[in-house]
Each structure stands twice: as structure tokens, then as C-alpha cells.
Amino acid sequence: MVMQLEQVVPFGRSLDEYVKMFNLTDADLQKSILSVADGPASFNAEGTRQGYRIKSIDPLYIFTSAQIRDRFNQVVDNVIAQIERTPDDWVWKYHKSPDGLRKNREQVTQLFCADFELGKDEGRYEVGELPKLKYQDGEFDLGLSSHFLFLYSDHFDENFHLESIREMLRVCKEVRIFPLLTLMLQRSPHLQSIVEQLEKQGYRCEIHQVGYELQRGGNEMLRIH
């Protein structure tokens, strides 16, 4: 798929949000991590500074940091205005307010953009997209998907999800996915069937409550190993 920048809303999350969304312990953060659909998150930039080993992949990485920053600046007012128009859909425990969320996303974009070109040279950011990954079997300890799988269940069908998760499990010893809600704040219609099929294959699937909730009701993470 060739990505069109004018269709992208490059909003990314911070290392602290990743830690909370995925219940990442200090031991987890010492593992080799593949973060798929990582977009303009600052997880890699901040984590690398702490000495963590994170590879991020996303089709967005065909663009430059300047293009991604410009696109963020074009859409941020509109995204925050949409959020302000739907107050009941959001929980403000973490970001406190739409303005707090905006400040967070601006800081994340700045950290990501400042790190992106160097990180590309170092192989920490690679262009790639599910459902296929170019990595070896078991190459990573932990695979993460934040705000892509399940969230876009209306755009990607069950087969895409199953194929993508199996591919992540091929290259990662363990996979965690957050959130389990769709954009309409419903539990993904694909979740139950996917869990059943993975369990039949011998994987263990656990749904964990996490201490992060922005989308109302979106405080669950799927752990597969």
C-alpha cells in the first residue's frame, strides 16, 4: 500500500504511555522489542536514550521528519476540536484536559522528529507494514501494537488481524496489543474469534487491565505468548 500523507493523522504516544498501556516492567524494557505501527510515537526516541533496544516499523516512515511534523501541525487543531465535541468519550485521568493532551502530543512529535533521521540511519525506524514482516523467526523478545490492531477493526477484517498477529508471533516470543476497543468505543468484533483460534494453536491469551485509559472503557491489553 502506498501511503498518502494527506490521509494520515500522525498522533503518537510517549514512553510513559507505552509503559502504562502495556504494563511494561523494568525486565520487559530490557528485552529486544519490535513496536509495529509505531508511527510518530516517542517510545523509540525516549527508550533508546534509556538504553532500551527498540525497533519501530510503520509505513509512515517513507516520509521525512519535516513532512510528518508539517502534517501534525495541519491536523492538530481539528483533532483536538473533535475531542472537545465528544467529552463523554474520553477519560482525563492521565492528560487532565484536551489542552493537556495537545501539549503531550506536541512534545511527543518533537521528540520523535528530532530522533527520526538518526534512528533511520541506525535501523531503529524501518518502513514496514502488517500483515507481513521481514524479520527472522523469534528475532525479538516482545512485539507491541499500540492503537492499530483492533482499533481499526472497521477498516481491517478478521483475516487481516489473524494473519498480522500470527506474523508478529512468528518474529516475537510474546505479543501485546492495546487497546481492544474500536474507534467507536466497542470491544473489537474480531477479538473473541482471534483468541479462540490462537488458543487452539497452543498460544496462551490473557486480557490484562492496565492503568491507562483515554478512550472511555479502553483500559484492557491482550497479552499472547
Ligand X SMILES: C[S@@+](CC[C@H](N)C(=O)[O-])C[C@H]1O[C@@H](n2cnc3c(N)ncnc32)[C@H](O)[C@@H]1O
Contact positions vs ligand X (CB under 6 A) = 12-13, 36-39, 41, 58-60, 129-130, 146-148
Which of 218, 225, 224 lies closest to 20 in space, CA to CA? Answer: 218
Nearer to ligand X (CB atom), residue 41 or residue 221 = 41
Nearer to ligand X (CB atom), residue 147 or residue 198 = 147
The amino acid occupying position 35 is S
The amino acid occupying position 170 is R
| All cell numbers assigned to 116 | 527520526
Nearer to ligand X (CB atom), residue 168 or residue 191 = 168
Q: How far is the CB of 146 from ligand X (least distance, A)?
A: 3
**Residue whose CB is nearest to ligand X in the complex, by number:** 39
Cβ contact 55:164 at 8 Å = no
Which of 164, 63, 78 lies closest to 116 in space, CA to CA? Answer: 63
Q: How far is the CB of 85 from ligand X (least distance, A)?
A: 19
Which of 138, 130, 175 lies closest to 37 in space, CA to CA? Answer: 130
Q: How far is the CB of 109 from ligand X (least distance, A)?
A: 10
C-alpha span between 93 and 142 (Å, rounded):
28
Nearer to ligand X (CB atom), residue 46 or residue 58 = 58
Q: How far is the CB of 8 from ligand X (least distance, A)?
A: 6
